[in-house]
Structure 1
Amino acid sequence: EYTATITLSEASTDFAVGDLTLVNATATLTGSGTTYTVTLTPVADGTVSVTVPAGAFTDGAGNPNTASNTASAI
């Protein structure tokens, strides 16, 4: 398993595990407000990665998020 911390610039109430784009992994997401932890479990050998695409969730004012960088682990 691998973990990554996701820090939002503004709090969100609708950020969920389904908002993540995963490669070669399943994920669980914990946290609230501006700080979340994603735990990635590989589904096969090789690199796993997680990204948050643009527009996946909104902040309290209804503004959509921008895309994240990609976090990867081998």
Structure 2
Amino acid sequence: MRKKANELQKELEKIIETLEKKGWTVSVTGDQKIRYIKKDGEDLNDLTDLINEAMKKVQKESAKKMMEMGGGLSGLLGGLK
């Protein structure tokens, strides 16, 4: 199970979406990490790092709440294992 989760994580990291609009460019990976944010070609590394840090904290808190509500995903599946 852990091996499959690690394989999935690696596959998600390979997914990359980059969008541009009105001088802004944002590139995000499938594992929900921001690769970079640019405004008129200028790389905004501090903003990228700050958003990634906030996302990591929110994901950690979300996982914690899910575990409290019935053991994570198994609780959502009616306790199936």
Is TM (by shorter chain) over 0.5? no
Q: Which has the higher contact order (CA 8 A, sep 6+)?
A: 1
Higher helix content, 1 or 2? 2
TM-score (norm 2): 0.23
Higher strand content, 1 or 2? 1
Please identify the structure whose Cα radius of gyration is greater.
2
TM-score (norm 1): 0.24
